[in-house]
Amino acid sequence: MDSKVLTGDADVTIRCERLLESKYKFKKVFLTNSCTNALEMAAMLIDIQPGDEVILPSYTFVSTSNAFALRGAKLIFADSKPDHPNIDEEQIEKLISSKTKAIVIVHYAGIACNMDAIIRLAKKNKIRLIEDAAQCIDSFYDQKALGTFGDIACFSFHETKNIHCGEGGFIAINDASLIERADVLRNKGTNRSAFFSGQVKKYEWVDLGFSAIPSAITSSFLYAQLLDIDKVQLKRKKIWDRYFNNISGLNRSGKVKLPFVPAYASNNAHIFYLVCNDKRERDELIVHLKKDEIQAVFHYQSLHKSPYYLDKHDGRILPNADRYSECLLRLPLFYDLNFKDVDFISQKIIEFYK
């Protein structure tokens, strides 16, 4: 407040961007007003045109698909893996056609997709790779930060995320050829940055764009959180591990399936979930927990079956995406949750299965 500069691109905004670049080795970071905002920028940056095909998972939030549908893309939905909600990399190649412009992957719960296989496919077919890394802050694939693999990656700082500023996000540009245009797009399609740095003589409208830069107030809230990210992550991982250890017996006995973390992935403890055997069981467990004021909730509904896209989908059955839509249940996980609460919630789940 003392700086008297509360608009976007204030000093604190730039400090947030430099901190993220330094800590996670992104080539270039621009803060945005949301991950949705970042995804919409990504679709424009790779020049999605009507009729272009984009391969993406069906089990994801609508922002992943909406950003590309807004540009006229045909969405080609892929199924999830049998052991994890992430996109099944083995199904991607058969979905690629001469019209495929991009593969958009989602690292569900901050757990990495199989990046080696996906990168090989993208390079082989000369297709753009976009990471929807909304849930992935401080998460890694073979010790390399998620969001550094794709041409572009999009992150969320929504209040439901590990680190947040109420509403916010950022776009990470890893293809250097896209950096200059990304700066123009976030500045409403103007050459504002170039003008204020003295590179051009006129402040002009040079492209289409977005009002994508968060205020200094938002950035200040975020910066304080970023400075504490290691502390936050340590606490969240302890909560996640406590859940896993408490109810691992149900996993061993086949009553539920607990999250699977492949050897190549780290776990940033964004979500703790379990997968029930069917929808009826999942719904009954929600009611059971609600009696003790425990808010356990399901997650995404398969986008290929959504009211908007149902008649546009090519008719393929995606059984794993549907299974996670019907059977996955998220448990409370936030920084102020204590072990006593985790133990109580765990006991109520065990009680249900007895």
Whether pLDDT at 26 is above 90:
yes
pLDDT tens digits along 72-115 = 999 999 999 999 999 999 999 999 999 999 999 999 999 999 99
pLDDT tens digits along 250-274 = 999 999 999 999 999 999 999 999 9
Q: What pLDDT shows up at residue 170?
A: 98
- Look at residue 101 and give its three-state secondary structure: strand
Sorting pLDDT into bands at 50, 70 and 90, what band is 9? confident
pLDDT tens digits along 272-287 = 999 999 999 999 999 9
Sorting pLDDT into bands at 50, 70 and 90, what band is 217? very high
Of all residues in the chain, the percent with pLDDT exceeding 70 is 100
pTM for this entry? 0.96
- For residue 154, give the nearest of 68, 60, 272, 34 by alpha carbon: 34
Structure tokens at 107: 């690292």
- For residue 44, give the nearest of 9, 13, 73, 21 by alpha carbon: 73
Q: What pLDDT shows up at residue 8?
A: 84
Whether pLDDT at 36 is above 90:
yes
**Domain spans in the chain, listed from the N-terminal domain onward:** 11-227, 230-353
Level-2 CATH architecture, domain 230-353: Alpha-Beta Complex (3.90)
- Look at residue 103 and give its three-state secondary structure: strand
User: What's 278's DSSP letter?
Assistant: S
Distance CA 300, CA 322 (A): 10
Q: What pLDDT shows up at residue 10?
A: 87
Query: What is the 3-state composition of the chain as percent helix, strand, coil, each rounded to the nearest 5?
Result: 40, 20, 40
Structure tokens at 169: 């996000």
Q: Count CA atoms within 13 Å of residue 220 on its CB side.
A: 11
Instruction: For strands 272-275 and 169-173, give the pairing.
Output: unpaired
- 11-227, which class in CATH? alpha beta
Helices within the chain (DSSP H only): 11-24, 35-45, 62-69, 89-92, 115-124, 179-186, 192-196, 216-227, 229-252, 279-290, 319-327, 339-353
Q: 20-24 — which CB contacts under 8 Å span 24+ positions?
A: 20/170, 20/172, 20/226, 24/138, 24/145, 24/147, 24/148
Are the C-beta atoms of residues 242 and 182 closer than 8 Å to each other? no
Distance CA 300, CA 134 (A): 14
Are the C-beta atoms of residues 240 and 247 closer than 8 Å to each other? no
